[in-house]
Amino acid sequence: MSDLDPQVNEPPKASVTVVYLGPVAPHWELRSDFGDRSVVDGFNARMQARLMLLPPHDPQFRRNRERVKRDAERENILLAWDPPELDIDPPPPPGRER
């Protein structure tokens, strides 16, 4: 017998897209495809607190983007980014590779 609990595949509670609005603050908007309004509103408040004044080129953005992702995973929310490349780490600048 295994001591591990089997993974329960529950359907997602919501589906949201974090949209980059451009270089002028506010930079971010949350759009929801489906889900309980209270779940989406709570996630939006946390997402805005982490990203509101951060454009994608800010060094803090990458750390806070990861926090937003983990929050979505904990809440069982499907998360997408618009544009999608915001979800991908940029390559290191030349001469800074490790």
Q: What is the pLDDT of residue 24?
A: 82
Q: Residue 43 has which token pair?
A: 């996630």
Q: Is the pLDDT of residue 26 over 60?
A: yes
Spatial neighbors of 64 by CB under 8 A, at least 6 apart, are 50, 51, 54
Beta strands in the chain (DSSP E): 14-20, 28-35, 77-82
Q: How far apart are CA 29 and CA 76, in angstroms?
A: 20
Q: How far apart are CA 71 and CA 77, in angstroms?
A: 8
Q: Is the pLDDT of residue 98 over 80?
A: no
The domain ranges of the chain are: 14-87
Q: Report pLDDT digits (tens) over 46-95.
A: 999 999 888 888 889 999 999 999 999 999 999 999 988 877 776 666 66
Helix (H, G, I), strand (E, B) or coil at 92: coil
